[in-house]
Amino acid sequence: MITLGLLMKIHKIFILLVLFYFPLGIVFSQTVNPDTLAADFFRQFEKSHSGNKDSMNLIVNQIIQQVTAEYPGKAGLVLCSAGILLDDNDYDDAALKCLRASLPLISKKKNPKEYINCALAMADVFYKAMKADSASHYVDLGYGVSQEEMISQYDDDIYNDRARIADLSGQRLLAIDWYLKAADIQRQRKDSVGLGIVLGNIGTMHINLKNYDEALKYLHESEMYNEHQKNEAALNDTYSNLAVAYNEHGKLSESIKYYYKSIFLSKKLKNDFQLARAFMNLASAFITEKKYAEAEAYLDSSKVICENNNIQFGPLLYKINQGQLILETGQISKGLALLEDAEKDMASYDMPGIQCELWEIISTGYEKDKQYQRALEYYKKFTVLKDSIGGSETNRFVFELQTMYESEHSARQIEQLQKNIEKQKARNGYIVMGLGMSVIITLLFGVLLIIYRRAQQYKQRLAQEENEKLQLSMDIKDQELASKAMNMAKINQMILDVSDQLKKVLPGLTREKTESLQQLLKNLESSLPTEVWKEFETRFEQVHKGFYDKISNIYPELSPAEVKVCGFLRLNLTTKDIALLTNRGIGTIEHSRSSIRRKMNLENDANLTSFLLSL
């Protein structure tokens, strides 16, 4: 029979048991529910830290010590869950500490899924810190365990992570390959949420490859999936990327419309990271429109958000965009200083794509500043990095294509990508061929130029020799004419002299002898070489064709006798020689020369003979 006293004893025992086992119950509950414990520690972290990095590190270290001390068997799982929560809420440094502490404590054999989760979470933290090599290392760890334990449920996550890391390394074609693999798995699973995200990522890759039509196709498909699933976070990313695609496509009004959509949704979701990105991209659009005041306002807003939320690479992107804006406004020295400061900050990040764009902007700045040597240095850096990214990307992607899966949808994508690669190879081939042809054409042109110049020199030499021959021939003929003229003059002179001598002896002779001598004189005088003179004129006209007509046309005032004197002067004969030839006095010839000079309007110091030789 149960009495009141017995009931009182049972009640006391029950209370003691409750008081004794209640803490154990919590411990048991917490031990088997790592996610619950992790949520408690996350709330403790958010309440305790003061917002600065040192404070956060101190609290995370305390949580790690507390978890490892109180829950040694499940510490790895608890810290992994806590790290993922911290990562999801953008406490990247704190997340990395928890995840690093958790991974060695998780057994690959007993808890392979948790190990894969932890490795992929660490990869995400390093990805957000722009450390591609470290991110790739942890994805490979997770992939290795998934293959060893034959766990396929993480395949799409692994493909997505590999795609993001390939993009971060500037290997956009390889990134598209991984995203297509992830999309194929999600289509098979009918995972519309995941498919909307992946399609948006593929669109983003096509933006980076400047395939804007392809980008818009994938992004609008992503927009449809995300709106249907009401996945506002993914939809916000899609809006932002659509804005970028339209901006690059030259459709600025559509671009700005989607930027404003992204800003509205970012504010609604309180997604400061996406809001900062939208502000920064909108600033770039306004720079394109040369609306520099609006651009600067959005850049400043983006900077403030990055600083308030400890978005590490935000200040770097701000410096790059602000430097470009300052260059556009004409403050070249100030813009270059800011861009070179950004270049120093780039050393902390593994972002070849952004590094490439930064060097291109700096090169343009130095070119505007007319510092062509510096501009060339940065342009060489830009082209080398761009070529290295493109070359390694294409080679690796060709290898990956050989082992791609054979599903109907992916086959179409592969075919398109193969076409792109063939086009790229063809373009490279054309470039090489073009360079080769340029070299050949240049060499051929050089050879032809040398041949042409030598031919011209040969022609000039032949012409010169011909002219010299002609001139020599002319000189010889002139000498012959002059010699003939002088012979004629001498003959005339001899006849005249003999005639004068005979006339002197006439008075002393008999009538019969006088008549004979007079007949002799008459015969001598009649024998003066008039026919020879006509022959001389004919020969002169043959040598100096048209000289008489030419000089008569130019100077019609000249008399026939003066024209004849000009011919003698053309033969470089002296006044005395001309007087002998024409049977005139020297004074008469001098008078003729003066008359000729006057009618030709020659200056006093001009040489008449030289002038006639130049005609």
pLDDT at residue 224, as a whole number:
93
Of 525, 535, 100, nearest to 92 by C-alpha is: 100
With respect to residue 174, please indicate whether it lies within any of the assigned structural domains: no
Q: Into how many domains does the chain fold?
A: 2
Domain that holds residue 556: 544-615
CA 327 to chain centre: 18
pLDDT at residue 18, as a whole number:
39
Q: Is the pLDDT of residue 467 over 80?
A: no
* Long-range contacts, stretch 209-212, CB < 8 angstroms, 24+ apart: 209/172, 209/173, 210/248, 211/420, 212/245, 212/248, 212/249
Exposure letters 239-255 (e unless 16+ CB within 10 A, then b): bbbbbbbbbebeeeebb
What is the dihedral sign for C-alpha 360, 291, 272, 269? negative
pLDDT at residue 202, as a whole number:
92
Rg (CA), the chain: 53
What average pLDDT does the segment 187-203 reach? 91
Question: In this predicted model, which residue has the larger pLDDT, 256 or 435?
Answer: 256
With respect to residue 302, please indicate whether it lies within any of the assigned structural domains: yes
Q: What percent of the chain has pLDDT over 90?
A: 12
With respect to residue 213, please indicate whether it lies within any of the assigned structural domains: yes
Read off the CATH number of the domain in which 199 is found. 1.25.40.10
Domain boundary among the residues 311, 341, 360 is at 311
Q: Would you place residue 44 in the very low, low, confident or very high pLDDT band (cuts 50, 70, 90)?
A: confident
Q: Is the pLDDT of residue 404 over 80?
A: no
With respect to residue 98, please indicate whether it lies within any of the assigned structural domains: no
> DSSP string spanning 263-283?
HHHHHHHT-HHHHHHHHHHHH
Give phi and psi for 68, each to the nearest 5.
Answer: -65, -30
- Please give the Cα distance from 557 to 502 (Å, whole number): 42
What average pLDDT does the segment 302-323 reach? 80
Question: In this predicted model, which residue has the larger pLDDT, 579 or 525?
Answer: 579
Residue 588: which H helix or E strand, with range? helix 586-599
Instruction: Give the chain's mean pLDDT.
Output: 79
Q: Would you place residue 184 in the very low, low, confident or very high pLDDT band (cuts 50, 70, 90)?
A: very high
Q: Which stretch of 298-302, 429-433, 457-461, 498-502 has the lowest confidence by average pLDDT?
A: 429-433
Domain boundary among the residues 283, 311, 339 is at 311
Model pLDDT for residues 525-549, shown as the tens digit of each residue: 666 555 556 667 777 777 778 888 8
With respect to residue 550, please indicate whether it lies within any of the assigned structural domains: yes
With respect to residue 316, please indicate whether it lies within any of the assigned structural domains: no
Domain boundary among the residues 254, 289, 311 is at 311
Q: Which residues contact 45 (CB under 8 A, 6 or more apart)?
A: 56, 59, 60, 63, 82, 86, 91, 94
Instruction: Give the length of the chain.
Output: 615
Q: Is the pLDDT of residue 399 over 60?
A: no
- Please give the Cα distance from 130 to 135 (Å, whole number): 9
With respect to residue 509, please indicate whether it lies within any of the assigned structural domains: no
- DSSP collapsed to 3 states, 481-516: HHHHHHHHHHHHHHHHHHHHHHHHHHHHCCHHHHHH
- For residue 427, give Cα distances in angstroms to 161, 174, 186, 263, 420: 31, 19, 35, 40, 10
The pTM assigned to this predicted structure is 0.47
Model pLDDT for residues 141-156, shown as the tens digit of each residue: 999 999 988 988 889 8
With respect to residue 561, please indicate whether it lies within any of the assigned structural domains: yes
Q: Is the pLDDT of residue 401 over 60?
A: no
Residue 531: which H helix or E strand, with range? helix 530-543
Read off the CATH number of the domain in which 554 is found. 1.10.10.10
pLDDT at residue 217, as a whole number:
92
